Amino acid sequence: MANTSLNSSSSTPFEKSKLRRIFGTQNNILRIALAEFLGTFILCLIGLGAVHEAQVSQTGTLGVCLAFGFAVAFGVYASAGVSGGHINPAVTMAMFTLGKLASRSIHELFCCLRCVLRPRSASCRNAKFYRQVFIELAGFKLIPETNLARLYVTAPSGAYDVNMGSLFFDQIIGTWILITVIFTVIDAQNVNPGGLAPLLIGMAAAVSGLAYGANGGGAINPARDFGPRLFATIFYPGDETLWDGFFTVPLFGPLIGGALGALTYQLSIAAHWPYNAAPSKERDDVSL
């Protein structure tokens, strides 16, 4: 009787819930897909909402960068336990470069899927929230209608005469900073902040945007730019600059920066820990 009572009491309400019985799955591929979709959706919903808010309330670049930073942290917190919380193909590229996707190579597929699906969905939500506001602003000529597409994508600011090579370098360096911070905080032989890692990663994303966002928008994440760009093309087709040569910069620049960041940390720090040190507990389940 004692054992029966113990087993009965150990079952949590969630384990008994109808939702878990009906919708729960132990399929690892599906679980990774759902987690990455949710994390990327959170990132783009909050980040793009902040861009819209900045246009309406003039909150400025600092507000947008901080919003994206916290959005990154929240997206990682939501998905890290299941998928690793990459929510950025540049992070997946970094892990792939170091051979850390052997047990979860399906990430490569979901990098492509989340680039298209969740960011587009988040863009749609923000468009619905702010539609009437921007109709009124356009009607009063406070914001040109052709500029609405720019609320969803990154683009050169025009403040400086910057060539394509410099823009690519900008994205590579910005992503390199982010990836370096990620590998620093997931390396148990280094500072190892534990549960604070996603927050620090989010702050790294915000700082990277503040430091390098003026040139080309500071995407440092293909998922943040490509999906919303598809959305903007469908709903604001009048902007012919959406698919000029620049779209390749936030698409491929962060992938290069991700690979270089992973190699740099490995060659500068991780490869030189003493052999008699405790075995590394470096994880790829807390990242961006």
- The single-letter code of the amino acid at 251 is L
pTM, full prediction: 0.80
Asked whether 226 and 250 are in contact (CB, 8 A), the reply is yes
Phi, psi of 96 (to 5 degrees): -65, -40
64, pLDDT greater than 90: yes
Those residues whose C-beta lies under 8 Å from the C-beta of residue 264, and which sit 6 or more positions away, are 176, 180
Count other C-beta atoms under 10 Å from residue 106's C-beta. 16
Those residues whose C-beta lies under 8 Å from the C-beta of residue 95, and which sit 6 or more positions away, are 84, 86, 101, 107, 262, 284, 287
Q: Walk me through the domains of the chain, giving residue ranges and CATH numbers.
A: 24-271 (1.20.1080.10)
pLDDT at residue 4 in the model: 44
Phi, psi of 94 (to 5 degrees): -60, -45
* Distance between CA atoms of residues 115 and 134, nearest Å: 26
How do residues 150-199 score in pLDDT, each as one tens digit? Answer: 888 998 877 677 889 999 999 999 999 999 999 999 998 998 898 999 99
How do residues 212-262 score in pLDDT, each as one tens digit? Answer: 888 889 999 999 998 888 888 887 777 777 888 899 999 999 999 999 999
Mean pLDDT of all residues belonging to the chain:
79
- The single-letter code of the amino acid at 151 is L
pLDDT at residue 206 in the model: 97
3-state secondary structure of 246: helix
- The single-letter code of the amino acid at 141 is K
